[in-house]
Amino acid sequence: MKHRRITTRRTAVAGGAAAALVIAGITFQSANATDSTEQFSVKALTAPAAGTLALSLKTDLGAAEAGAYYETGTKTLVVNVVSEDAAQTVRAAGAKPRVVENTLAELGAARKALTENATIPGTSWATDPVSNKVIVTADRTVSGAKLTTLQQVVRNLGGKAELKRSAGEFKTFASGGDAIHSGGGRCSLGFNVVKGGEPHFITAGHCGDTGSEWSDSAGGAAIGAMVESQFPGNDFALVKYSGDTPHPSEVNLYNGSAQAITKAGDATVGMPVQRSGSTTQVHDGEVTGLDATVNYGNGDVVEGLIQTSVCAEPGDSGGSLFAGDTAIGLTSGGSGDCSSGGETFFQPVTEALSTFGAEIG
């Protein structure tokens, strides 16, 4: 039987803004943070290069580093610090230092308090380096006593947290690269990978269970079986190809072309990204938060996600989030749609590859 070629797709992330948040960013100045007024030489960097520099400075600065983000307008990496000595190190590296009030340890304690006292379906929280706070989001289903509890917990955290509302409802997008089908359900292929020298692909964990068979058309012959699936907690799964199905390392752009994928990388707030999924195809957007915790309800809580301004809809689950030739994430869930907009969360690809012992290919 001849199988159609499966490629991973690119979805243009909805709601792309001029200032992309990479390790956390747009150019805002919050009430509890100040920019240095000293003159220093700042390097113009691409988003991936800024992410690499941010990780290096995080190692060098230790507890004195409090997050970073990329300003797309100036192509500048901004690094939050809590001391002037740390600021000098940032300047010497060619980035822009910004002295802030809250340390990452303090923001981590705020996140812990939210986990302990406000684990409510329809909520999410992520560390935002631009505001130097933990941004807590409640969707439209959070009301009454639950909303009151959430408001009180955030209030008790003072300047370390801020509460926002979403007009939509947080949910996984199962029902998006190329469409993949199993048992009447549809998701999207994320990225083709290699494990032990054999071809596999990765997708969202909530799409199916270990042992489930997958095809490239509704009711079609199986092209592979899911060998591992993790959800909740994480949201990724690995499917091993069977037969001779083509498995190029690329993402479907739904315009007759494809984007080659050569490597995997980590997200940075402010990073411009694209998403490809089988329902809404390609959309653009930006990374707006990291290490996000999302409560989809029914006990389905996922941690360590990438938060973005990308739109997505049912069927896009598992689809590709990428930046150029770099694989970044797998579509997990969110709120809204590609008509009204919304936010979407992604499972980091690097964590999935590390867990499975696989690599892009």
Domains present along the chain, CATH in parentheses: 1-16+170-361 (2.40.10.10), 33-100 (3.30.300), 106-165 (3.30.300.50)
Q: What is the pLDDT of residues 270-316, one digit of tens each?
A: 999 999 999 999 999 999 999 999 999 999 999 999 999 999 999 99
**Integer angstrom CA distances of residue 210 from 36, 107, 158, 357:** 52, 36, 44, 17
pLDDT reported for residue 242: 94
Active site residue 235: yes
Residue with tokens 């989809």: 296
Annotated active-site residue in 181, 200, 206, 283? 206
Annotated active-site residue in 249, 278, 317, 335? 317
**Cα(191)–Cα(241) distance, rounded to whole angstroms?**
12
Residue with tokens 């199988």: 3
Burial class (CB in 10 A: 0-12, 13-18, 19+), 58: middle
Strand ranges, E, within 139-271: 161-165, 171-172, 179-182, 185-188, 191-195, 198-203, 213-215, 222-230, 236-241, 250-252, 258-260, 263-264
Q: What is the pLDDT of residues 174-183, one digit of tens each?
A: 543 568 998 7
Active site residue 60: no
Q: Which of 23, 50, 19 is nearest to 291 (CA)?
A: 23
Q: What is the pTM of this model?
A: 0.84
**Kind and range of the H or E run holding 78:** strand 76-81
Active site residue 300: no
Annotated active-site residue in 178, 235, 266, 284? 235
Q: Residue 99 carries which DSSP code? A: E
**Cα(210)–Cα(225) distance, rounded to whole angstroms?**
8
pLDDT value at 264 more than 60: yes
Residues 6+ apart with CB under 8 A from 159: 32, 101, 102, 133
